[in-house]
Every structure is written in C-alpha cells, then in structure tokens.
Amino acid sequence: MIRAENIVKTFGSQEVLRDISFTFDDGKTNLIIGKSGAGKTVFLKILVGLLQPTSGAVWFDDIDVCCISKEQHRELRMQIGMLFQGNALFDSLTVEENIRFPMDMFTTRTAKEKLKQVDYCLERVSLEGINDKYPSEISGGMQKRVGIARAIVLNPKYLFCDEPNSGLDPKTAITIDDLISGITKDNKITTIINTHDMNSVMEIGDNICLLSDGKLAWKGRKEEVLDNDNEVLIDFIFASPFLQRLRSQALSK
Amino acid sequence: MQLIRDLGKFIAWLPDIFSKPENWGMYYKETVRQMYDIGIGSMSIVMLISGFIGAVTAIQFSYQLSGGFIPDYYIGYIVRDIMIIEMAATLTCIVLAGKVGSTMAAEIGGMRQKEHIDAMEIMGVNTSSYLVLPKLIASVIVIPLLVTIALIVGIAGGYIAATYVAGLTPVEFEKGLRFLFDPYNVVMMYVKAITFSLIITSVACFQGYFVSGGSIELGQASTRAVVFGSINILIADLIIALLLMG
Ligand SMILES: Nc1ncnc2c1ncn2[C@@H]1O[C@H](COP(=O)(O)OP(=O)(O)O)[C@@H](O)[C@H]1O
Ligand SMILES: [Mg+2]
C-alpha cells in the first residue's frame, strides 16, 4: 500500500498540487487521471521520490519515505520499476543491454542467468528475438514494451507508469494496458498509472483518482465512473461534443 | 551571486560523486569507455595544434634571434621550455575544455532531459557517482597522456621547422634541448595537467547534470562548460604559477 498524505507541491509561485491525500491499493491497477498539465507527472514523481513535496508525506506501507536513510532509500528503489513517458531507454545500448542494465548494476548473476531473465521479460511483453536491436530501430509501441520489460526485470513490488499509451494508436494502446494489468495480476504487484486515456480508465481502473487544477476532484473504481454526477469527472470523460450527445441521448432514454 | 550559489551547489554535490560505487565492474567498464572517447577522440586535434605551435615558435624565434648575440641553438631551448611551461598543458587543456567539455556536458545534459538519469535513479543507481566518477578518473589518466603527446609533437614540430626553415643543424637543436634543463618544470607541467583535467570534467559534468528545460538550455549548458572550463583553467594556471614558482 502506498499512501499520499496532504501532498502540496509548489514551483516558485505556481501551486501544482494542493493538499492531495490518496491511498493506492496493493495488487491493483491504480490510476491517476486528469487533463494535461493537471499535475499527474509531478504527483507520480513525488510518489517515487524523484521530486520532494513542498509539504506532506508519502508512505510505503509503514515507512515514511522522507525520513529514511540513503541506504534504505536505495533498497526501496530496488523494489520499484518505472516506465517513463518518453521511455527513457538508453539509446547507446541495445534492447538486451537496456533490460540487462539493472541486473548488471545490482546483481551478481552469471551472463547465462541474465540472458535467461532478459529473454523471459521480452517474452512477457511479446517481443522475442529483438535482443540486438537499438531503441531507435523499433517502433514506439515496441519501445514502450521494452521499457516495461526493463521495469520488471528485477521483479519489483511496485510498478509506476507515466502515460504508458500516449503517442500510440488506440489498438496498440489497449495492448499496452492489457499487458500492464496482466503483469499486475500475475506478479501480484502494486501498479500506479498516469493517464488521460478514457479506454484505460474504463478497462483497467481498479482504483482511480482524478486530479484537476492540482486538487483531488474525484476518487473511485471504474464501475463507478459512469453513474455519478461529479461535474469535473463528467467534463473529463465526456470531453468531446460527440460524447456529450451520446450521454444526453442515453440519459433521456 | 549565481557563481557563489553554483559553487555551493557543487561542493554539496561532491559527497554524492565520491560515494562508494554499487558495482565496481560497471564503473570500470564506463571508465575504460570514457578513456577511449577522450583519448582517441582528441588525439589528432592535440597533435595538430601542438605541432603547429612548436613549429611557429621555432620560426618566430629564429627570425627574432637572427643576427643577434644569442646563439642559434637557443631555439631548441626556447621551444622546449615554452612547450613544457605553458603550451603543452595549458593550450592542450583549453582545446580539450572545448572538445571534451562540451561533449560531456551535452551527453549528461541529454540524459537528464530524456529522463535517463531519472530512470537510473529509480533503479537505485547513484547517478551523481556513476555518471561523473568514471569521467573524472578517465580524464585524470588520459589528459596528462595527451599533454605528454603534445609536448613531444610540439618539440618535433619545432625541430622540423628549425632544421628545414631556419637552417639549424640537428646537433645544434639537440644542444638547445639539453641546455639548462630543469626537471622541476616537467613536474609542474603534470601538476597543471592533472588540475586542468579535474576542472574540465567537473565543470562540464556539473553543467550537464543540473540542466533543465529543452534544447536551448542544453546548448547553453554546453557553452557554459567550455567558457567556465577555459576561464577556470586560466585562473588555475595563474595560481599554480604563483605557488610553484614563488
Ligand atoms: N520542474 C518543474 N518546474 C516548474 N514547473 C513544473 C515542473 N514540473 C512541472 N511543472 C508544472 O507543473 C504543472 C503540472 O505538470 P505535469 O505534472 O507534468 O502535468 P501532467 O498532468 O500533464 O503530467 C505544469 O503546469 C508544469 O508547468
Ligand atoms: Mg505528464
């Protein structure tokens, strides 16, 4: 369980997050949703510790991350995998070297064991046999999947994904969503995803928080999204006039 | 003001850079890669510049000395000492501040902007150390070697110019090379080379690591690495000269 407690974050005079408290459930696909610029990335980076909150606390189970030693912090980070919005694959390394990197750095496994784990992770994301390609030689969707493979290579307890399907076509985006939620279930990990994609919300949102203007505007499960009257949520979900027409037709029936 | 703030930030950063590596093997590999990049990548430009400087020095002084009371073999002596005392270390390192410094700043800054540094941090890597320490070690080993090469090539350039253009005999030039030789100057050359390599690398890594924004800021950081690196080299050159000669 990861718990955000009264998180406030300001950059200069700009208040990006205003007093956000939310609990992310273990073994579930947790979503942080909201429009572009709502503060999703900043919130996610505060949760993983890449940014420090101006005030408030982040708890991993019963550990307050602000107050642990550097050593403990590194240990915690070993249990975290993260997929970045721009993949953050190292472009001078091959796919295999990218996925192997955390193992090279932190384990004493033999080359054979490492290769086995690389191949296992690549198979998990349905990308067998591209070991020797460079990130620039594969498509955006494949890069995302390699990013996922790298994130799960050390069997993390927590998986963080920043906009995993931005920039992908709808079909590929759904594949990525299925992949992440499948990994979450199979490996019993706690996943937190940033997204503004409605398909993701409706398909994989076990536990959702909606950010708007730096505030927590709504929280709930995907089953609760459609029948509720939270204005911010309705405005976010039925963003286009087309969807609004569909909604009013459905309501008037 | 900004300068003082940067200096404070830099000093606060040092403990992170010099903390214990999580994996010696990976650091070793990265150090070798950097040594290769710095050394092989800069060899030709360093040889070109020092060769020309040696040659021009010889020609200039042979012109100035001609017809005077000073014997011709002094040209060898002058070329040698100018290379050892100033040109080999300082000029080479100013050139490297441009070539190596800008590359390092751009490399680390690009990693910052593409979230590579964040990605490594999340894995648990101490990026301050992993991205900087191998570069520091590599440059402290390789740059003094480049300075040595600059010295040899510079004297060779002087020799060629003195014998072919200024009409010295090889024996005379060699006599000049041995004339009033003070090994202490060579020690000083290496003190300078090591100091300057630390300056080039730390300034460049600092500018790259703390870059923010986009490609314009990345370009500015790269430029600052060159400008501040060169200025700091000149300041250090002056300080070393005052300390070691005084
Ligand atoms: N490092 C930073 N410095 C200053 N402002 C920032 C920084 N990071 C994010 N912001 C601001 O925070 C706001 C939220 O950004 P972000 O979390 O990236 O939004 P999104 O929900 O699209 O991920 C934006 O207005 C952005 O300008
Ligand atoms: Mg974002």
Query: Closest Cα partner for A3 from A192, A151, A200?
Result: A192
Which of B114, B124, B125 minimises the CB distance to A88?
A: B114
Within 8 A of B115 by CB-CB distance, chain A residues are 84-86, 88
ipTM for the complex shown: 0.89
| pLDDT the model gives residue A202 | 83
- Amino acid identity of residue B225, one-letter, is A
- Give me the percent of chain A exceeding a pLDDT of 90: 64
Task: Give the ligand 1 atom nearest the CA of A39.
Answer: 17
pLDDT at residue A193 in the model? 95
The pLDDT score that the predictor gives to residue B112 is: 95
pLDDT by residue (tens digit) across B204-214?
999 999 999 89
* CATH placement of domain A2-252: 3.40.50.300
Query: What's chain A look like in SS3?
Result: CEEEEEEEEEECCEEEEEEEEEEECCCCEEEEECCCCCCHHHHHHHHHCCCCCCEEEEEECCEEHHHCCHHHHHHHHHCEEEEECCECCCCCCCHHHHHHHHHHHHCCCCHHHHHHHHHHHHHHCCCCCCCCCCHHHCCHHHHHHHHHHHHCCCCCCEEEEECCCCCCCHHHHHHHHHHHHHHHHHHCCEEEEEECCHHHHHHHCCEEEEEECCEEEEEECHHHCCCCCCHHHHHHHCCCHHHHHHHHHHHHC
What pLDDT, on the 0 to 100 scale, is given for residue B110? 95
Q: What integer is the mean pLDDT of B212-217?
A: 92
Is residue B245 scored above 80 in pLDDT? no
Q: Chain B within 8 Å of A106 (Cβ-Cβ)?
A: yes
Task: Using a pLDDT cut of 90, give the percent of chain B over it.
Answer: 63
- Out of A77, A81, A88, whose CB is closest to B115? A88
How confident is the model over A175-204, as pLDDT tens digits? Answer: 999 999 999 999 999 999 999 888 888 888
Query: Bigger pLDDT: A250 or A162?
Result: A162
Q: Which domain holds residue B238?
A: 26-245
Contact yes or no for A47/A193 (Cβ under 8 A): no
Verify whether ligand 1 is closer than 6 Å to residue A16 (CB atom): yes
> Which residue of A100, A105, A109 is the best one to mutate when testing the B interface, meaning the one whose CB has the most B CBs within 10 A?
A105
Provide the residue type at A225 as one letter: V
- The pLDDT tens digits of the residues spanning A58-88 come to 999 888 988 888 888 888 998 999 999 988 9
What strand order describes the sheet that includes A14-24?
A14-24, A2-11, A55-60, A63-64
pLDDT (tens digit per residue) in B27-48? 999 999 999 999 998 999 999 9
Give the CA angle between residues B232, B229, B20 to the nearest 5°.
100
pLDDT score recorded for residue B71: 77
Q: Label residue A101 by pLDDT band (50, 70, 90).
A: very high
pLDDT, average across residues A25-51: 93
Q: Is residue B113 part of a domain?
A: yes
* Chain B residues near residue A82 by CB distance under 8 angstroms: 118-119, 122
B73 falls within a domain? yes
Q: How confident is the model at residue A228 (pLDDT cuts 50, 70, 90)?
A: confident
Ligand 1: does its nearest atom lie under 6 Å from the Cβ of A38?
yes
pLDDT at A245: 85
Q: How many domains does chain B have?
A: 1
CB–CB contact B119 A88 (8 Å): yes
Share of chain B above pLDDT 70, in %: 98
Break chain A into its structural domains and give their ranges: 2-252
**Can you tell me the distance from the alpha carbon of A78 to that of A75, in angstroms, rounded to the nearest whole number?**
5
Distance set, CA A68 to CA A59, A63, A64, A241, A245 (Å): 11, 8, 7, 49, 52
pLDDT at residue B246 is higher than 70: no
| pLDDT tens digits, B153-193 | 999 999 998 888 877 788 888 888 888 888 888 999 999 99
Which ligand has the shortest distance to the CA of A43?
Answer: 1
Q: What residue in B sits closest to A77 (Cα-Cα)?
A: B124
